[in-house]
């Protein structure tokens, strides 16, 4: 299990002294401790990482973002809204899908339980913005999802008459073949009796 | 002539009394043996029209179906209507020949060859409309390439059904022809010319060893009976499957459970009408007045109006129910057809193929050969127009909720469809191809079913003799207007009780054009019920 | 019959194949366990690839059997084998869908233009068409209409030569090298989403993809053309031209399997949530076609009864 959390700092973020980590845990039915390392950049504060998991009955990825840092106090770390998103690989440009958000507790930890709908390597992003919408902190991590929630929308339509139709076609074909056999037989028999002409040449 | 008669006698078998029937045989073979003055000009003109159609089709192949006035709204139009109409008119053969044969309507005998020949030529002509109908006719082989088959497709089953029906039509044309072939061969004996030689080869190949032996006749009669029964459900299936091609959609006007019945009845109706026209033309052109009588037309006229009435009824129920439902698309479609942009063709159908034939047959003054032929000609045209009314409006109807009644995206009288010279030429060519092929066909086969008529004649003769002996009643007077110049063979059904059926025999076997107005009962009602003794002149 | 759905015995069989033995790559340390509850859930959502297409396959192979053997037994046997083949087939990773947010559409028809430019179409071939509609309040609104990529497409089973087919990824495509131009699919489509090359098509320069059902450029005269959802571009992650060019972000390309959708502006949404939150509807659902195009309606709009006005 590989999980990488990376700290991406901006100048503003640094000035705020915020740090954010994303911790990924998973998955279905089992708590799998995940330990990842986070690197702080520049003047950012130190990071702590914690592995979490859930007992959820559906495949889950637990995203845990921890704000930390020198300049921050527990008072400022609490109540910060962290949004979580994932990069969608199947579309060019890997647009980010907003998963949801969590609010940090007094320890500066925001949790989000994500039920992945596709498997494979996924890039998660946690970000914090200020009141004006400006990004103040962001962190990404990569995680290989091995089990996904079965899709709910792609049930194929079925027709109750599909099987029936097959037999109808079979019967009709049999009738068709029979008709041809009868007609050709009639033609051949009559022609054999009437048309063959050995003696009565004109 | 005496050796000729002897050979005829040998062929007809020993159990049937042999009488000279030169007149019938002469008349039946006249189109083969003699070339009328009008023949070559007629064939030339018809051939020129066919060539025009082929040229038009070539243009269409080069430029695409767009030159035929089609577009994405009017994706089906005249070719599909023609496909339905031309295959439909081939049903006349099935009705006259098969249904009347099964019901033992003896009067049908002189008509069967012409009716079957009409079916034989109209069906391939109708099938040929698949070719201009297709956008990529060069790939038509895919229809016979089983790996590509999609057996859930109505069109593939159309193809299957029509092909099978074509085979059955060919068989059904061939079987009754077999006993006539030696008779025809005797007539072309010793004549010069390429065509005569071709005839000889043909007759020999197809019926050269027919001797009329009892075993041969049993086999042939069994075969004809079997195919006559088979061909009726096959005819029904062909137009049912044709209608499925339309009905397998969600379009108002196509998605109708009534459609298969509607198509089948329309086909029978127009088929009878075309047979009437063909028989009238053949009677006139090949001088068959001695054998095809006005009352034949009147009887066919009754079948015609019966089918016409059923069709009118189906039309009424279809539009009534759909219009009544108030479902937006159905109501809009009915509105468009009945009072909207298609009202002229719809009401033309209503008058020409709905009302007029009924009136013609209801009024005694018009219940004549001329009336029936005129009515049938109208029906043939009007039923073609009706097919356009069936095919085009639902196709051109916009499906994303468009207020059809308020105009929508439909533009002209036929919605978005535009008639251009290309499909009109091709349609004309197909129309011309039918008489052309018939003219050619009757250069090779006897135009009347000689053997069948002779057998019928013999049978009736026996009955008539029996009548004469037991009753000794002379012939009742026949109104001249109803029995113009015709002896009484083939008039009544052998089903009737002998004593009620026949007037004393005319000189059977020697019917002469313009002969004395003798004969059996004339048309007193549909299929001439067996109620009127001794000729039934008194209605 | 239409619109009814039934679970056949085969569905459970197929479930066993797809849910019981997941073919996802097993990653170390991430055990996968499927609880009974999940299995139940999977059963409900696992596809059964029969319906019209299955019918078609059975029919086509049945036809083969007939030709080869000329007997009924052969065709039915073949039909049966095709049934088992379709039930064991694994579903593709992508299940393409589209979302059209009518609240944002301003009727600029940029999508139509982009589509026609990319596929070198005649102006009358509006593979994605924009209808001007009028709601019950008399307000005009616009309704783009691509191919609905139905799960039970009416156009597929009617083709006599099997030129229509539906891909594993849920796209209905036309093989223009097979199409003979009967146009019965145009008759069958309730959305009028099919077009015909009535005349010589627009010429096209050399294309990045070969002329194939997934990229029928240039078009072929005398064959049917329709929206392909730019099938050839999807594997590389590119959204269809209409989606990419919509200046309002109306059109979303979605993947039902991964439950995400993206529009041309990069807005990415959780598909099922987006649809549920916005009360998305399908067009003409009563026709039993099960479209894979979802419409998000504005206030007072109803695609089934609103009239087109242009």
Q: What is the pLDDT of residues C12-50, one digit of tens each?
A: 333 233 333 333 333 333 333 333 343 333 333 333 333
Q: Is B395 on the interface with C (CB under 8 A)?
A: yes
pLDDT of residue B328: 79
The residue with greater pLDDT, B190 or C248, is: C248
* All domains of chain B in start order, with CATH: 11-450 (1.20.1630.10)
Residue B402: predicted pLDDT = 60
User: Which is nearest to C225 in space by CA: C151, C134, C127, C115?
Assistant: C127
Find chain A residues with C-beta within 8 A of C269's C-beta.
97-98
The answer to whether C84 touches C68, Cβ cutoff 8 Å, is: no
Is residue C65 located within the same domain as residue C141? no
Task: Using CA coordinates, name the residue in chain C closest to B392.
Answer: C187
Alpha carbons B15 and B361: distance in angstroms, whole number: 42
**C-alpha distances in Å from residue B178, one per residue of A153, B119, B175, B202, C293:** 67, 18, 5, 11, 63
Contact yes or no for C161 and B250 at CB 8 A = no
Q: Is the pLDDT of residue A144 over 90?
A: no
Q: Are C244 and C262 in contact (CB under 8 A)?
A: no
B390 pLDDT exceeds 70?
yes
Q: Average pLDDT in the B86-90 region? A: 93
- Least CB-CB distance to C160: which of B150, B250, B399? B150
Q: Which residues of A touch B230 (CB under 8 A)?
A: 179, 182-183
Question: Could you say which of C29, C64, C88 is where a domain stops?
Answer: C88
Tell which of B250, B255, B393 to mutate to test the C interface (max C CBs under 10 Å): B250
pLDDT at B464: 66
Q: What is the mean pLDDT of residues C58-77?
A: 42
- Report the residue of A176, A190, A198, A201 to disrupt the B interface, i.e. the one with the largest count of B CBs within 10 Å: A190
Q: Which residues pair with A82 in a beta bridge?
A: A102
- Report CA torsion sign: C211, C213, C217, C222: positive
Residue numbers in A near C239 (CB within 8 A): 91-92
Closest Cβ opposite residue B147 in set C64, C194, C221 = C64
Report yes or no on C1 lying in a domain.
no
Among C144, C183, C285, the strongest candidate for a mutation testing the B interface, having the largest count of B CBs within 10 A, is: C183
**How far is the alpha carbon of A60 from chain C, nearest alpha carbon, in Å?**
11
| C161 and C41 assigned to the same domain | no
One domain for residues C195 and C114: yes
Q: In a 3-state reduction of DSSP, which class is residue C120? A: coil
Measure CB to CB from residue B400 to each of C145, C195, C287 and give the nearest one.
C145
* pLDDT for the residue numbered A94: 87
CA C227/CA A15 separation, integer angstroms: 52
Burial of B13 from C-beta contacts in 10 A (0-12 / 13-18 / 19+) = middle
Higher model confidence: residue C215 or residue A162?
C215
Which residues of A touch chain B, with CB atoms under 8 Å apart? 165, 169, 172-173, 176, 179-180, 182-184, 186-187, 189-191, 193-202
- Same-domain pairing of C217 and C198: yes
Chain A within 8 Å of B10 (Cβ-Cβ)? Answer: no
C3 within a domain of the structure (yes/no): no
Q: Same domain for C153 and C286?
A: yes
DSSP assigned state of C89: P
Is there a single domain that holds both residue C81 and residue C158? no
Beta bridge partners, C281, equal C295
Specify if C2 maps to a domain: no
A134 CA: distance to closest CA in chain B (Å): 45
Mean pLDDT within B422-447: 95
CA distance linking residue B158 with residue B127, whole number of Å: 10
- In this structure, the number of other CB atoms found within 10 A of the CB of residue C298 comes to 14
Most C CBs within 10 A among A115, A122, A170, hence the mutation to make, goes to A170
Q: What is the pLDDT of residue B377?
A: 95
- Torsion over CA: B490, B494, B496, B498 (sign): positive
CB pair distance less than 8 Å for C259 and A151? yes
Looking at A28-32, A76-80, A170-174, B78-82, which range is the least confident one?
A28-32
Cα–Cα distances in angstroms (integers) from residue A114 to residues A20, A101, B31, in the given order: 18, 10, 90
Least confident of A180-184, B473-477, C301-305: B473-477
Which chain A residues are Cβ-neighbours of C52 within 8 angstroms?
159, 162
In this complex, is the C-beta atom of B143 within 8 Å of any C-beta atom belonging to chain C?
yes
C188 with C284, same domain: the answer is yes
pLDDT, mean of residues A2-14: 37
**What's the rounded Cα separation, in Å, for the pair A150 and A161?**
27
Domain end marker among C88, C113, C129: C88
From chain A, the residues in CB contact with C270 under 8 A are: 97, 99, 117
Residues of B in contact with C224 (CB under 8 A): 135
Residue C43: the pLDDT is: 36
Q: Are residues C147 and C166 in the same domain?
A: yes
Cα B47 vs. chain centroid, distance in angstroms?
22
Whether C58 and C156 share a structural domain: no
Cβ neighbors of A78 (< 8 A, separation 6 or more) are A104, A105, A106, A107, A108
Nearest to B452 by CA among B110, B58, B52: B110
C4: in domain = no
Q: Which of C31-45, C57-71, C82-96, C290-304 has the lowest mean pLDDT?
A: C31-45
Question: What are the pLDDT digits (tens) for B252-276?
Answer: 889 999 999 999 999 999 999 999 9
Contact C102, C298 (CB under 8 A): yes
Distance CA C202, CA C119 (A): 9
pLDDT at C25: 38
| Average pLDDT score, chain C | 76
Asked whether residue C233 is domain-assigned, the answer is: yes
Domain limits at C198? 96-308
pLDDT above 70 (res A185): yes
| Two structure tokens written together for B395 | 């196709």
Q: Do C135 and C275 belong together in one domain?
A: yes
Cβ-defined contact of C33 to A117 (cutoff 8 Å)? no
Distance in angstroms (rounded) separating the CA atoms of residues B110 and B99? 15
Shortest distance between the Cα of C123 and any Cα of chain A, in A, equals 29
Same-domain status, C269 and C144: yes
pLDDT at residue B182 tops 50: yes
Task: Compute the nearest-CA separation of A59 from chain B (Å).
Answer: 42
pLDDT of residue B467: 62
pLDDT in the model for residue B104: 83
> Is B525 an 8 Å CB contact of chain C?
no
Q: Is B98 on the interface with A (CB under 8 A)?
A: no
For residue C122, the model assigns a pLDDT of: 93
How far is CA C154 from each of CA A13, C36, C52, C176, rounded to the nearest angstrom?
A: 57, 36, 8, 18
Q: Are residues C259 and C174 both part of a single domain?
A: yes
Residues B324 and C166: their CA atoms lie apart, in Å, by 38
Tokens of B209: 């060893």
Report yes or no: A67 and A104 within 8 Å, Cβ to Cβ: yes
Which chain A residue lies closest to C55 (C-alpha atoms)? A162
Domain-terminating residue out of C88, C112, C135: C88
Chains in contact with B, where contact means 3 or more Cβ–Cβ distances below 8 Å, are A, C
* pTM assigned to the model: 0.78
Q: Chain B closest CA to C194's CA: distance in Å? A: 8
Query: Are the CB atoms for B539 and B524 separated by under 8 Å?
Result: yes
Alpha-carbon distance C211 to B208, whole Å?
A: 58
Phi, psi of B253 (to 5 degrees): 100, -25
| Range from B151-165, B365-379, C39-53 carrying the lowest mean pLDDT | C39-53
Domain total of chain C: 2
What band does A76 get if pLDDT is binned at 50, 70 and 90?
low
CATH number of the domain to which C237 belongs? 3.30.70.20
Chains that touch C (3 or more CB pairs under 8 A): A, B
CB neighbour class for B363 (10 Å; exposed up to 12, middle 13-18, buried from 19)? exposed
**Are A173 and C28 in contact (CB < 8 Å)?**
no
Question: Are B465 and B457 within 8 A, CB to CB?
Answer: no
Which tokens is A12 given? 């503003």
Is the CB of residue B417 less than 8 Å from the CB of residue B396? yes
Judged by average pLDDT, the poorest of B155-169, B525-539, C188-202, C267-281 is B525-539
C61 touches chain B (CB under 8 A): no
Residues of A in contact with B182 (CB under 8 A): 200
**Sequence-distant (≥ 6) Cβ neighbours of residue B207 within 8 angstroms:** A194, A195, B177, B178, B179, B180, B181, B182, B185
The answer to whether B134 contacts C182, with C-beta atoms less than 8 Å apart, is: yes
Residue C208, in any domain of the structure: yes
Q: How far is C34 from chain B (nearest CA, A)?
A: 39
Q: Which of A137-141, B369-373, C197-201 has the lowest mean pLDDT?
A: A137-141
B window 404-433, beta carbon within 8 A of C: 408-409
β-strand pairing of C96-101 with C251-255: antiparallel
């Amino acid at each position: 299990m590989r999980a990488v959390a990376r700290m991406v700092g901006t100048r503003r973020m640094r000035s705020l002294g915020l740090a954010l980590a994303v911790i990924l845990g998973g998955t279905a039915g089992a708590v799998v401790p995940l330990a990842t390392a986070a690197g702080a950049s520049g003047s950012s504060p130190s990071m702590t990482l914690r592995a979490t998991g859930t007992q959820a009955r559906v495949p889950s990825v637990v995203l845990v973002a921890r704000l930390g840092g020198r300049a921050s106090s527990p008072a400022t770390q609490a109540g910060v809204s962290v949004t979580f998103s994932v990069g969608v690989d199947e579309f060019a440009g890997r647009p980010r899908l907003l998963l949801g958000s969590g609010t940090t507790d007094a320890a500066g930890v925001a949790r989000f339980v994500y039920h992945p709908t596709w498997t494979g390597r996924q890039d998660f992003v946690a970000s914090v913005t200020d009141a004006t919408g400006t990004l103040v902190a962001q962190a990404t991590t990569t995680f290989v999802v091995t089990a996904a929630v079965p899709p709910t929308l792609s049930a194929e339509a079925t027709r109750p008459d599909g099987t029936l139709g097959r037999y109808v076609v079979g019967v009709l074909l049999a009738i068709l073949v029979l008709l041809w056999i009868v007609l050709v037989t009639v033609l051949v028999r009559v022609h054999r009796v009437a048309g063959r002409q050995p003696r009565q040449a004109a | 002539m005496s050796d000729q008669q002897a050979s005829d006698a040998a062929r007809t078998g020993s159990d049937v009394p042999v009488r000279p029937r030169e007149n019938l045989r002469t008349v039946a073979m006249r189109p083969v043996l003699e070339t009328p003055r009008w023949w070559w000009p007629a064939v030339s003109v018809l051939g020129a029209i066919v060539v025009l159609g082929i040229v038009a089709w070539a243009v269409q192949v080069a430029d695409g179906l767009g030159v035929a006035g089609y577009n994405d709204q009017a994706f089906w139009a005249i070719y599909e209507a023609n496909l339905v109409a031309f295959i439909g008119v081939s049903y006349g053969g099935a009705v006259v020949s098969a249904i009347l044969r099964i019901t033992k309507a003896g009067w049908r005998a002189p008509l069967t060859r012409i009716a079957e020949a009409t079916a034989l030529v109209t069906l391939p002509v109708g099938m040929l409309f698949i070719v201009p109908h297709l956008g990529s006719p060069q790939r038509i082989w895919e229809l016979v390439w089983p790996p590509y088959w999609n057996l859930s497709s109505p069109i593939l089953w159309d193809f299957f059904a029509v092909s099978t029906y074509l085979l059955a039509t060919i068989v059904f044309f061939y079987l009754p022809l077999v006993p006539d072939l030696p008779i025809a061969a005797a007539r072309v004996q010793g004549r010069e010319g390429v065509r005569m030689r071709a005839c000889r080869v043909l007759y020999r190949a197809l019926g050269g060893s027919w001797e009329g032996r009892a075993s041969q006749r049993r086999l042939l009669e069994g075969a004809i009976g079997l195919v006559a029964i088979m061909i009726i459900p096959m005819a029904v299936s062909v137009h049912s499957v044709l209608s499925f091609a339309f009905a397998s959609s969600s379009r108002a006007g196509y998605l109708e459970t009534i459609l298969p019945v509607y198509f089948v009845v329309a086909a029978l109706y127009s088929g009878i009408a075309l047979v009437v026209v063909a028989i009238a033309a053949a009677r006139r052109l090949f001088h068959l007045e001695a054998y095809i009588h006005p009352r034949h037309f009147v009887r066919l006229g009754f079948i015609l109006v019966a089918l016409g009435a059923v069709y009118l009824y189906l039309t009424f129920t279809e539009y009534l129910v759909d219009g009544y439902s108030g479902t937006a698309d159905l109501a809009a479609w009915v509105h468009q057809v009945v009072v909207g942009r298609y009202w002229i063709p719809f009401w033309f159908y209503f008058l020409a193929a709905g009302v007029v034939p009924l009136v013609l047959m209801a009024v005694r003054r018009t219940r004549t050969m001329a009336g029936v032929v005129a009515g049938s000609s109208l029906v043939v045209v009007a039923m073609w127009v009706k097919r356009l009314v069936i095919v085009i409006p639902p196709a051109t109807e916009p499906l994303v909720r468009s207020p059809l009644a308020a105009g929508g995206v439909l533009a002209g009288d036929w919605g978005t469809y535009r008639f251009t010279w290309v499909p009109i030429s091709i349609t004309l060519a197909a129309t011309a191809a039918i008489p052309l092929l018939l003219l050619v066909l009757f250069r090779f086969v006897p135009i009347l079913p000689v053997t069948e008529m002779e057998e019928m004649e013999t049978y009736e003769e026996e009955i008539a003799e029996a009548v004469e002996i037991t009753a000794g009643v002379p012939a009742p007077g026949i109104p001249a207007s109803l029995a113009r110049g015709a002896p009484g063979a083939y008039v009544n059904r052998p089903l009737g009780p002998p004593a009620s059926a026949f007037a004393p025999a005319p000189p059977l076997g020697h019917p002469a054009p313009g002969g004395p107005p003798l004969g059996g009962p004339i048309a007193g009602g549909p299929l001439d019920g067996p109620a009127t003794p001794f000729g039934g002149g008194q209605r | 019959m239409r619109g009814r759905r039934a679970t056949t015995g085969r569905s459970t069989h197929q479930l066993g194949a797809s849910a019981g033995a997941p073919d996802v790559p097993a990653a170390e340390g991430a055990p996968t366990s499927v609880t009974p509850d999940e299995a139940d859930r999977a059963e409900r959502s696992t596809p059964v690839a029969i319906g019209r297409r299955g019918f078609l396959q059975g029919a086509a192979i049945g036809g083969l059997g007939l030709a080869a053997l000329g007997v009924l037994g052969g065709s039915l046997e073949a039909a049966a084998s095709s049934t088992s083949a379709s039930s064991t087939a694994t579903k593709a990773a992508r299940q393409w869908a589209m979302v059209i947010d009518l609240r944002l559409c301003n009727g600029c028809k940029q999508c139509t233009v982009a589509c026609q430019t990319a596929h070198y179409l005649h102006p009358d071939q509006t593979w994605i068409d924009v209808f001007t509609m009028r709601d019950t309040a008399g307000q005009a609104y616009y309704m783009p209409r691509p191919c609905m990529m139905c799960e039970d497409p009416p156009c597929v089973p009617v083709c006599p030569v099997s030129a229509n087919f539906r891909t594993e990824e849920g796209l209905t495509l036309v093989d223009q090298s097979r199409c003979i131009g009967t146009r019965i699919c145009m008759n069958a489509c309730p959305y009028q989403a099919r077009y015909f090359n009535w005349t010589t098509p627009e010429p096209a320069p050399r294309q990045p993809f070969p002329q194939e059902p997934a990229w029928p450029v240039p078009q072929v005269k005398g064959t049917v053309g329709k929206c392909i959802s730019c099938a050839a571009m999807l594997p590389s992650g590119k959204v269809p031209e209409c989606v990419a060019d919509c200046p309002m972000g109306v059109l979303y390309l979605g993947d039902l399997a991964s439950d995400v959708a993206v529009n041309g502006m990069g807005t990415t949404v959780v598909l099922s949530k987006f649809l549920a939150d916005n009360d998305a509807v399908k067009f003409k659902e009563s026709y039993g076609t099960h479209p894979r195009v979802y419409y998000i309606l504005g206030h007072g709009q109803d695609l089934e009864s609103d009239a087109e006005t242009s």
